[in-house]
Amino acid sequence: MKLQPSIWLRTAYARMWVRTKSIYGEPLWVVVTIGFPLFTSLAMALLYRSTGLNSAVGFAVLGGVMISFWGNVLWSMASQFQWDKQQGLFEIYISSPAPITAILVGMSLGGIIGTAPSAALVAFAGWVFFAPPINPFWPGVIVVFGLTLAALYALGMTLASLYLVYGREAEALNEAIHEPVSLLSGVYFPSIGGFSPFPFALQVVASLIPLTIGMDALRRTLFALPGLPPAGFDAIYLHVIALSVMAGSLLVLAQKALKALEERGRRTGTIAVRQR
């Protein structure tokens, strides 16, 4: 019994180290990880400034920071098990004593650590080029940012199990949902609340995405917005509750889904069949 925590922690650490190393071991991937959110953020910031919406420049910079993590969730977390399956690694996972949950947590931590420098560079470049006005409530920023990442990577864990079922369609699904989710989640402009251009029904749908709640809460804690109460926990407590529920629910769902797939794989052997 005493060995189980040790095995779990060692597995999570090993997977985290490999994920972090893989992100920065390929120069082209480093350029893509940094360049895509950076140029998207700068383009939106220039658009806002050219139309006189200087107060929205900070939104664009924040969107570039968060889209770095959203891309990592889709292309590194959700798709990873499918790629491992194609390479014959997933059958090693399910036949080894290493807990699948530890592998997923290690992937998540490695993704966060590997993506954080890219997100920080986007934030730094946006601040240097545009100096957006901010009025931060740092305790709220830290809490919301942590919960948003927890909910996003829990979503990535859930998608990882679903992509094992869909097989080669996983990459096509990523392509299909990346931009629509970015649009609905408020990466480019506020998608919920009084500043949203969307009708109420679409705002309700957008609110089911963890990134939407996180973006709205981060805006409230980073910027002074007209018509909204001053930054503080009283202005974001509903966001904190929603993100906590989302993160917990998605973690439980991911664990149950992977457990079901693991049992199916051990029983039938079909989960480890490589598709070409």
- pLDDT tens digits for 222-274? 886 655 555 667 778 899 999 999 999 998 888 887 777 767 666 666 565 55
Q: Tell me the whole-structure pTM to 2 decimals.
A: 0.86
Weakly modelled stretches of the chain, pLDDT under 70? 1-5, 25-30, 165-171, 224-232, 262, 264-276
Alpha helices in the chain (DSSP H): 3-24, 27-50, 57-72, 80-86, 90-95, 100-130, 138-166, 169-184, 200-206, 210-222, 233-268
pLDDT reported for residue 78: 79
Domain housing 11: 3-272
pLDDT reported for residue 249: 94
pLDDT reported for residue 142: 92
pLDDT reported for residue 115: 86
DSSP designation for 229: P
Number of separate domains in the chain: 1
